[in-house]
Structure 1
Amino acid sequence: MSRHTLPKSIYSQSVGLLGILVFSLILAVSCQGGGEEAPLEVSLALSGNPSTLDPHATTETLTFQVTKSLYDTLLEPDDDGELVPALARSWSVSDSQKEITFQLRRDVSFHDGSGFDARDAAASIERLLSPDFASPSAGEYSVIEDVQIVDDFTLRLILSEPNAPLLYTLASGWSAILPSEKIESGHNFAREPVGTGPFSLEQWVADERITLNKNGDYWMEDEIEVEKVSLQIIPEPSVQTQALMSGQVDILYIVSEEDVPVLQSRDDIIVETDTTSLVMVMSINTSRDILGEVEMRRALNHAIDKQTALDVAYGGGTPVGTFNDASNPFYADFTGMYPYDPERAAELAREAGYSEDRVFDLVLPQNFAPHVTAGELYQEMLREAGIQARIRMVDWPTWISDVYGNANYDLTVIGHTGKLDPDGRFIGYGSGNMYVRYPNELLEELITEGRRTLEFSRRQEIYTQVQRIFAEQVPFVFVGSSLRRIAYSSDISGFRMTPNLDTFDFRRISSGSGE
């Protein structure tokens, strides 16, 4: 199940918009009366409003960016993406590869004061598996045949077959551990999250801010310095940039390319750049008449100038030719299959039976300006190839429910985040159940085989075949992996983005220069 990301924006807005935004004080580093240092508070500009704070009920990155601070998982990735203990202090896998046993931490509490034990871990996994709950991530746990509570602090999972991705799934945000008593009572986790995480929810004012307070009883040995986190919901990048420069926010996790020079010119701001694990795409609903024809989908791919789209809409990046990010160890390079060629695109469209009275419905998530910019570029590039598209703007909740959930679109623009294991990106696409509605029996068989295979080189062979099918059948226009630019106040250090998952980790932030 793919997870959707938040984009960088190059749209500009009137600075007058600042007048209607009320920001929290970001960073208190001055001394109070009596010589006491004020509590450390940090603020981050969040690009949109999450639709829920129930991590089991969604696939959206916005939710996981918030819930990373509210919940813990059994395992988690370190800075290199390797798995390390979290709520599970250790784990072991049987010789048959069909049993995983977790030794859980003791003296861990939920935000409501109840103690964490194996019953909570078991109830959380069973909730994810439950057909009645119908988690969109349920397929990632389907290999689990039985969840056994060995004792208060030992949990065992019995698998139907070996499964390489499961440990990585259990380290991802959608595997958050919730209190069993509240699961049983039908608690509203969507609005009232209760976890063991480093912060608890103080307040959520929709479309304005989410305020988190430090969990003073958190299990990590290292003391967390940050007392309060304020996630200011500011969709417009130009307003975000002004907020950082004026000291109203500390952190921007998405910075537009044109804002880099002015931010780098300041001694009080640090800018870092790397390549994301995103795959930027124009998704194609293959169940819609002519879009079911592979020639038409190939025409769309030839019509798009990928590097220009990355440079203009996303601030640069590396083109890809399949459903994987360029830095992934399993990536296979098929970028040469569809060079930018409007004439070839027009020729293939005619062969597919396309006529210009067929105007494609190009749906764009309006609060993510880079995707809007990309969509406008794609509309013009398609027009140059004789292919007509009409833009329809929707808000993010509508995109999630209507486009991703119900496939009510012809074309759409989005970015898919990376996963700790490749199966997390590929799962479901061969069955035709994902929003591109692309059933392919061979693709599904290969994805299943890759999931059951533990040996790296064999998995690499399998996933190369998977990526070749994506490249040949193109249920997406695969555009590329974008650059990520993070900017933050030089008065803090230690802010971290979780590898491949694009979530925020505030646990290591401290006051003092990040240089």
Structure 2
Amino acid sequence: MQHHRALWMRAAAWVSAVALVLAGCAGAGRSSRGPDGGAGSSGAGAQRPVVVLQGVDATTLDPAGHAETPAYNILNNIYDTLIYRNHEMKLEPGLATEWRTLNDTTWELKLRQGVKFHNGDTFNAADVKATIERIIDPAEASPRRNNLSAIQEVKIIDDYTVHIITSAPYPILPNRLASEHVISAEYLAEHGKEYLAANPMGTGPYKFVRWVKQEEVVLEANPDYWRGAPQIQQVIFRPVPEAATRISQIQTGQADIAVNIPANQVEALRNDPSVKIVDVPSVRVIYVAFQTRKGGIVGNPTFRRALAHAIDARSLIDNVLMGAGYHMATALTPQHFGFDPSIQPYPYDPDLARRLLAESGYQGEEIQFDTPSGRYAMDKEMAEAIAGQLQKIGVNVKLQVNEWGNHVGLMTSREQKGIYMLGWGNATWDADGTLSPLLSGDGAFSSHESPVSDELILKARSTMDQAERERLYHQALRQLHEDVAHLIDWQQKDIYATSTRIEWTPRSDEEINLVSARLVQ
């Protein structure tokens, strides 16, 4: 803890120095003004806006009212978090300059001074308390409540110090705080949550200008941003569901960043001088799991191992995903805390698969394979190819393609009959964010339970010593791998198209942050 704190303090010192220089530029005092503080356009008209195309519009612009990436990407440019996750997915000071544990259930956060909200309100501890208490209040029904449900109380010690008390040891609290945007307590109290949901107002690099639903969200640069004013003066987020339309708008210069480019379009776009293709390994892992709770042949580990050796993952990734994926041995990526590089994927060995299948006592029972269609890149196509590989060793697979809402219902009710596909984006970058919900007996999306791995996962979740936590997670992963809880895991590759006039690097957590982007034309 002391070593990590020293690193954070060195980073905080540099950021604090920047903040002190900028503090004199910010307005003073509390204000009841609207989200733009009555300011002008800051010269936004002098530069053509940067246009970002996402697949869907935000459902709300209330930081506590959503659990979706499209809304988060917009809000991340308007608000700040207490703790910032940098491009390398490491934690750095944000609105909190330092954080430490006073005991196993008490965290102390020191807050950054001199920071202003866009309307001139001064950021302080009351804003942190209001932000967190609103999310954890059951009456608010925030979709983000589970992220912070371990928090029992937020105490204001002084204007720039807060204590966060958890109901049990909760070592990943900093990871969780890195995903929560801090609102102004006074702005919320004066205007109410309905107004906030349509008129966001934060301390971030961009100020909210307007939201025309299903058309665009317009933001303009905050010249007094405590980290330094953004180079891009105006940003527009637009919802465009069709991938072909997103690509066309990049090619014709109508847009600058487009998400979710199909892998089968990449080669042609790389030859287009008006387009740049950028990609990154994603936080999201797609997996095919076994329903082991219902007994039968799927509950037999020898049968599961037979199926695992029947999968030619390299062929699937090369020929179905067109290379846009990475075969994983477990449901964690190398960037996640707790990842164990010593665990290797089950090797493709169809002869061994057939021998194990016979050994398991399989008699040709039908195995249902539930998959969504259109939720993940080439999901139905991957399911079809996996089913084909299983059929080659003699498994009777029935592929069931589900509408997304029905598919999620099957997962949460645990009514899957055999094997199923799902994806999980664990932006905490900690093993707990995957193993607890997906692979422990009490997990909301888990169809697997094991006394050994369940105990290890639960113990790791409330262990404050990081080295011991990592050891426990490695043990749990090895046990899950031995149990063959998953048939196959692959890390998604996120593919974006950009215009040639912008320099922007995508992040593995799917965030689109424009403060670090640059125009080159």
TM-score tier by shorter-chain length is 0.7 to 0.9
Paired with 1:271 and 1:97, the residues of 2 have a C-alpha distance of 45
Percent of matched pairs sharing the same residue: 22
The reply on whether 1:178 has 2:183 as its aligned counterpart is: yes
Amino acid at match of 1:392: V
Deviation at 1:148, TM superposition (A): 0.2
User: Counterparts in 2 of 1:312-461, with a 5 A limit?
Assistant: 312-316=319-323, 317-328=325-336, 330-333=338-341, 336=344, 338-342=346-350, 344-345=352-353, 356=364, 358-385=366-393, 386-395=395-404, 399=407, 402-407=409-414, 409-410=416-417, 411-418=419-426, 419-428=428-437, 429-461=439-471
The answer as to whether partners of 1:417 and 1:502 remain within 8 angstroms in 2 is no
Gaps of 5+ in 1: 1-34
The reply on whether 1:306 has 2:316 as its aligned counterpart is: no
1:168 to 175, 185, 188: 175
Paired with 2:303 and 2:195, the residues of 1 have a C-alpha distance of 43
The reply on whether 1:279 has 2:300 as its aligned counterpart is: no
The reply on whether 1:45 has 2:50 as its aligned counterpart is: no
Paired with 1:131 and 1:222, the residues of 2 have a C-alpha distance of 37
Q: Does the C-alpha gap of structure 1 residues 100 and 333 become closer, same or farther in structure 2, counting only changes over 3 Å?
A: same
Deviation at 1:122, TM superposition (A): 1.3
Matched position secondary structure for 2:326: strand
2:132 to 122, 125, 133: 125
1:78 to 77, 86, 89: 86
Instruction: Find the counterpart in structure 2 of residue 158 from structure 1.
Output: 165
**Could you state the TM-score of these two structures normalised by the residue count of structure 2?**
0.76
Paired with 1:268 and 1:409, the residues of 2 have a C-alpha distance of 46
Instruction: Find the counterpart in structure 2 of residue 473 from structure 1.
Output: 483
Q: Deviations over 1:30-80 (max 9, x none)?
A: xxxxx9973341223323455555554555444433432343211111222
Deviation at 1:356, TM superposition (A): 4.9
Paired with 1:352 and 1:273, the residues of 2 have a C-alpha distance of 42
Q: Deviations over 1:408-452 (max 9, x none)?
A: 545443432343333323333424322133333433332343344
Matched position secondary structure for 1:271: strand
The answer as to whether partners of 2:262 and 2:377 remain within 8 angstroms in 1 is no
Deviation at 1:324, TM superposition (A): 0.9
Amino acid at match of 1:103: L
Q: Deviations over 1:457-508 (max 9, x none)?
A: 4333222112112212333333222444443222112x2434x422110112
Paired with 2:111 and 2:302, the residues of 1 have a C-alpha distance of 53
Amino acid at match of 1:437: S
Deviation at 1:360, TM superposition (A): 1.2
Aligned Cα RMSD in Å? 3.7
In terms of mean alpha carbon deviation, does 39-48 or 209-218 score higher? 209-218
The reply on whether 1:103 has 2:111 as its aligned counterpart is: yes
Paired with 2:361 and 2:74, the residues of 1 have a C-alpha distance of 46
Matched position secondary structure for 1:427: helix
Instruction: Find the counterpart in structure 2 of residue 8 from structure 1.
Output: none
Paired with 1:243 and 1:288, the residues of 2 have a C-alpha distance of 49
Deviation at 1:147, TM superposition (A): 1.0
Deviation at 1:288, TM superposition (A): 4.8
The answer as to whether partners of 2:303 and 2:356 remain within 8 angstroms in 1 is yes
Deviation at 1:364, TM superposition (A): 0.8
Instruction: Find the counterpart in structure 1 of residue 256 from structure 2.
Output: 250
The answer as to whether partners of 2:328 and 2:345 remain within 8 angstroms in 1 is no
Instruction: Find the counterpart in structure 2 of residue 490 from structure 1.
Output: 500
The answer as to whether partners of 2:136 and 2:148 remain within 8 angstroms in 1 is yes
Q: Does the C-alpha gap of structure 1 residues 331 and 193 become closer, same or farther in structure 2, counting only changes over 3 Å?
A: farther
Paired with 1:300 and 1:267, the residues of 2 have a C-alpha distance of 45
Q: Deviations over 1:153-179 (max 9, x none)?
A: 33221345554321121112xx22234
Paired with 1:38 and 1:408, the residues of 2 have a C-alpha distance of 57
The answer as to whether partners of 1:40 and 1:226 remain within 8 angstroms in 2 is no
Deviation at 1:215, TM superposition (A): 5.6
Q: Deviations over 1:320-356 (max 9, x none)?
A: 1112113546422466452234455566566666565
Paired with 1:62 and 1:286, the residues of 2 have a C-alpha distance of 34
Amino acid at match of 2:285: V
Q: Deviations over 1:123-165 (max 9, x none)?
A: 3222333344455654553443431012333322134555432
Q: Does the C-alpha gap of structure 1 residues 185 and 312 become closer, same or farther in structure 2, counting only changes over 3 Å?
A: farther
**Could you state the TM-score of these two structures normalised by the residue count of structure 1?**
0.77
Paired with 2:242 and 2:44, the residues of 1 have a C-alpha distance of 37
Instruction: Find the counterpart in structure 2 of residue 259 from structure 1.
Output: 265
Paired with 1:217 and 1:398, the residues of 2 have a C-alpha distance of 47
The answer as to whether partners of 2:287 and 2:487 remain within 8 angstroms in 1 is yes
Q: Does the C-alpha gap of structure 1 residues 334 and 342 become closer, same or farther in structure 2, counting only changes over 3 Å?
A: farther
User: Counterparts in 2 of 1:200-211, with a 5 A limit?
Assistant: 200=208, 202-203=210-211, 205-206=213-214, 209-211=215-217
Amino acid at match of 2:81: T
The answer as to whether partners of 1:70 and 1:193 remain within 8 angstroms in 2 is no
Q: Does the C-alpha gap of structure 1 residues 193 and 378 become closer, same or farther in structure 2, counting only changes over 3 Å?
A: farther
Answer with 1 or 2: which has the greater Rg: 2
- Give the number of aligned pairs: 470
Q: Does the C-alpha gap of structure 1 residues 70 and 470 become closer, same or farther in structure 2, counting only changes over 3 Å?
A: farther
Paired with 1:414 and 1:485, the residues of 2 have a C-alpha distance of 20
Q: Deviations over 1:18-39 (max 9, x none)?
A: xxxxxxxxxxxxxxxxx99733
Paired with 1:404 and 1:106, the residues of 2 have a C-alpha distance of 47
Paired with 1:185 and 1:444, the residues of 2 have a C-alpha distance of 46
The answer as to whether partners of 2:369 and 2:400 remain within 8 angstroms in 1 is yes
Amino acid at match of 2:346: Y
